[in-house]
Amino acid sequence: GIRAGETEFRPGQPTPTWGFTSPATAAADRWPGTYLGPTLRAERGEKVRVEVANRLDEPSTVHWHGMHLPAAMDGGPHQMVDAGGAWEPHWPVDQPAATLWYHPHPHGGTERHVQRGLAGMFLVDDAPARQLGLPDEYGVNDLPVVVQDVRFNGARFDHGHRFLRNTGFLGDETMVNGTLAPYREVRDELVRLRLLNASTARVYDFGLADDRAFDLVATDGGLLGAPHRTDRLPLSPGERAEILVRMAPGERTVLRSSPPGGGDFWQSRFSGGDDSFDVLELRAADTLRPAPDVPARLADVELPDPADASRERHFDLRMSGINGAPMAMDRIDATVERGATEVWTVRNRDGVTHNFHVHDVQFRVLAVDGEPPPPELRGRKDTVYVPSGREVKIALRFDGPPDPDVPYMYHCHLLSHEDGGMMGQFVVV
Ligand code: C2O
Ligand code: CU
Ligand code: CU
């Protein structure tokens, strides 16, 4: 159910919010309010059917971000659910284990719907991932970390704040899973954090407060071939990553976000680039369950091969639209053939940060400004950061079921940009 309600982010101060509820969460009194949504979970090979009931007094949608599914089930702006209406999308889950998410996608209203609280995680599992022995006890050593920046005016959200017209909303504090100043007690040596940047405009550069290294094991669409040891990880809106953090008994550390790189001084300053946030504190118990070493090999990563590409396309990103035209619901911008591999070149032609998200597929980053991609961009991706001036080349394979009548979307995932028309539509035929 998509519902309006309220949430006490601070005790005694109810904030009007929207959220997804399920019969289970609605019944549990530990459910803290109407904000975000339950984590959904399915196994590769399973068929899912979701019963969506829109209890708002305005239309919305539910889009399955990162999911490979038929266009009619995608939950984009062509699958509106009326106020009081219902929708039952169903599809076979056919993709590797990954951390995906869901959120509304009404044309022109996505920022507003997500900001009020409509977002949740959707985890895909598969047997090869399970056999790796990574931390996988949900809520114990395998933690969803939905990161959002917020700004309050008394008990109410202040969504009006814009540093500059072009930036989008920037908050002055962050929440994890709808909790302010969050901490987590940890009873395992190794903790898996499933990071989701569910902010509407802010780019994070995650690290640990003491600069310790962690292992990046998965990106948007699933596991990397091998773990990547690093101490920094940028995530733009919509991107996900799974990291493994090793803890010592009794210690504390903080997942922190530093100012993101990319773009020039002014761009970074005016998009909140000076801001650091303590995002989540981890507090280790005095005795920890031992964990094995992270396996050296993680997965055979399913990636498109650019040698198979039958077509190239170019996408120039500007506030005024992609390739010079704002989104039009009745215009198809690209028609691709089922089974085709294509190479797309995405360029940011603005002085403003953007990113680029494509529905239905997980793509492969071939090059960033003509150079081979950094390790964190070598796995399956559905969203990629494209700051001012950058050029990103990607390979995509479209093997969804053909449907000439219902388009998928590609767009900037800074939601005020998307709402403002930085979106286009493609069909698979
Ligand atoms: Cu996360 Cu088209 O969206
Ligand atoms: Cu999406
Ligand atoms: Cu943008």
Q: How far is the CA of 336 from the centre of ligand 1 (A)?
A: 19
Q: How far is the CA of 385 from the centre of ligand 2 (A)?
A: 14
Mean pLDDT of the chain: 94
Contacts with 425 (C-beta within 8 Å, 6 or more apart), sequence order? 327, 329, 331, 332, 333, 334, 407, 408, 409, 410
Tokens coding 22? 């399920």
Q: How far is the CA of 75 from the centre of ligand 2 (A)?
A: 9
Identify which ligand lies nearest to the alpha carbon of 66: 2
Task: Identify any residues that bridge with 354 across adjacent strands, giving them in sequence order.
Answer: 386
Per the CB < 8 A criterion, the answer to whether 389 and 226 are in contact is no
Contacts with 285 (C-beta within 8 Å, 6 or more apart), sequence order? 185, 186, 187, 249, 250
Cα–Cα distance between 295 and 288 in angstroms, integer? 20
Give the count of alpha carbons within 13 A of 31, CB side only.
Answer: 20
Cα–Cα distance between 351 and 265 in angstroms, integer? 11
Q: Which residues of 233-272 are buried (b: 16+ CB within 10 A; e: fewer)?
A: bbbbbbbbbbbbbbbeeeeebbbbbeebebbeeebbebbb
Query: Residue 91: pLDDT above 90?
Result: yes
pLDDT score recorded for residue 261: 62
Give mean pLDDT, residues 211-215. 96
Q: What is the DSSP letter of 307?
A: G
Cα–Cα distance between 405 and 20 in angstroms, integer? 29
The gap between the terminal CA atoms of the chain, to the nearest Å, is 33
Which of 254-268, 290-304, 310-324, 366-380 has the least mean pLDDT? 254-268
Computed from CA positions of residues 54, 55, 56, 58, in that sequence, does the dihedral angle turn out positive or negative? positive
pLDDT digits (tens, 9 = 90+) for 326-366: 999 999 999 999 999 999 999 999 988 999 999 999 999 99
pLDDT score recorded for residue 364: 98
pLDDT score recorded for residue 258: 86
Q: How far is the CA of 55 from the centre of ligand 3 (A)?
A: 30
pLDDT score recorded for residue 349: 95
Which of 35-49, 123-137, 259-273, 302-316 has the least mean pLDDT? 259-273
Contacts with 406 (C-beta within 8 Å, 6 or more apart), sequence order? 70, 71, 72, 74, 78, 427
Q: How far is the CA of 418 from the centre of ligand 3 (A)?
A: 7
Tokens coding 88? 């039952």
Cα–Cα distance between 165 and 158 in angstroms, integer? 16
What is the position in ligand 1's atom list of the atom closest to the CA of 410? 2
Q: How far is the CA of 269 from the centre of ligand 3 (A)?
A: 16
**Interface predicted TM-score (ipTM):** 0.99
Which residue lies with its CA nearest to atom 1 of ligand 1? 65
Lining ligand 1 with CB less than 6 A are 63, 65, 103, 105, 238, 357, 359, 409, 411, 413
In order, the DSSP letters of 66-117 are T----GGGS-STTS-B-TT-EE--EEE--S-SEEEEEE---TTTHHHHHHTT
Tokens coding 351? 């002085």
Q: How far is the CA of 8 from the centre of ligand 3 (A)?
A: 32
Cα–Cα distance between 277 and 173 in angstroms, integer? 7
Query: Residue 11: pLDDT above 70?
Result: yes
Which of 26-40, 221-235, 279-293, 341-355 has the least mean pLDDT? 26-40
Query: Residue 110: pLDDT above 70?
Result: yes
% of the chain exceeding 90 in pLDDT = 89
Give the count of alpha carbons within 13 A of 378, CB side only.
Answer: 15
Number of CB atoms found within 10 A of residue 163's CB: 14
Task: Identify any residues that bridge with 214 across adjacent strands, giving them in sequence order.
Answer: 230
Query: Residue 137: pLDDT above 60?
Result: yes
pLDDT score recorded for residue 216: 98
pLDDT digits (tens, 9 = 90+) for 364-401: 999 999 999 999 999 999 999 999 999 999 999 999 89
Q: Band of the pLDDT at 163, cuts 50, 70, 90?
A: low
Sketch out the chain's domains with CATH numbers: 2-126 (2.60.40.420), 142-289 (2.60.40.420), 306-428 (2.60.40.420)
Q: Band of the pLDDT at 418, cuts 50, 70, 90?
A: very high
pLDDT digits (tens, 9 = 90+) for 244-272: 999 999 999 999 998 776 555 555 655 55
Burial-class residue 187 by CB neighbours within 10 Å (0-12, 13-18, 19+). Answer: middle
Q: In what order do the strands lie in the sheet with 309-318?
A: 321-322, 309-318, 341-348, 391-397, 364-368
Query: Residue 182: pLDDT above 90?
Result: yes
Give the count of alpha carbons within 13 A of 351, CB side only.
Answer: 9
Q: Band of the pLDDT at 167, cuts 50, 70, 90?
A: confident
Query: Residue 26: pLDDT above 80?
Result: no
pTM of the model: 0.96
Query: Residue 150: pLDDT above 60?
Result: yes
Which residues are near ligand 3, the ion (C-beta closer than 5 Å)?
Answer: 354, 412, 414, 417
Query: Residue 30: pLDDT above 60?
Result: no
What is the position in ligand 1's atom list of the atom closest to the CA of 76? 2
Cα–Cα distance between 350 and 370 in angstroms, integer? 19
Phi-psi region of 279 (alpha: psi -120 to 50; beta: other; left: phi over 0): alpha
Tokens coding 225? 């071939």
What is the position in ligand 1's atom list of the atom closest to the CA of 411? 2
Cα–Cα distance between 17 and 391 in angstroms, integer? 38
Query: Residue 197: pLDDT above 70?
Result: yes
Task: Identify any residues that bridge with 358 across adjacent strands, giving them in sequence order.
Answer: 410
* Segment holding 278, helix H or strand E: strand 277-289
